[in-house]
Amino acid sequence: MHQCTKASHTVLGTLTIRLDDNLDKDLARLAKIQHRTKSDLAREMLRKHIAVEQFRELRRKAMPAAERAGYLTDDDVFRDVS
């Protein structure tokens, strides 16, 4: 009896960028120190940067409601959550 299973396929995107010599050397040096590939480091850095930008966008959208509720500073938030 032959059992068939569906293989999961991951779609991969490709990005080609040009780096100046200094940035390429810095990335290569970091990759060597961390025993990782330049691509792996670049992916991680892009993920982190995108996460920060998404957070900033959410914060920008939430600020008007937060200000209306009296949250003007980080201390205001900490006061109510602590």
Domain boundaries defined on the chain: 21-81
- If one counts every other C-beta atom within 10 angstroms of the C-beta of residue 42, the result is 15
Using CA atoms, how far apart are residues 27 and 74, in angstroms rounded to an integer?
35
- The answer to whether 27 and 42 are in contact (CB under 8 A) is yes
Is the model's pLDDT at 61 over the cut of 60? Answer: yes
Q: Residue 55 has which token pair?
A: 């957070």
Contact 76, 70 (CB under 8 A): yes
Computed over every residue of the chain, the mean pLDDT equals 90
Residue 82 pLDDT: 85
How far apart are the C-alpha atoms of 28 and 35, rounded to whole Å? 10
Provide the 8-state DSSP code for 6: P
Res 5: pLDDT: 57
Name the residue with higher pLDDT: 7 or 75: 75
pLDDT, residue 78, reads 87
Helices (H), the chain: 21-34, 38-68, 74-81
Residue-wise pLDDT tens digits, 24-56: 999 999 999 999 999 999 999 999 999 999 999
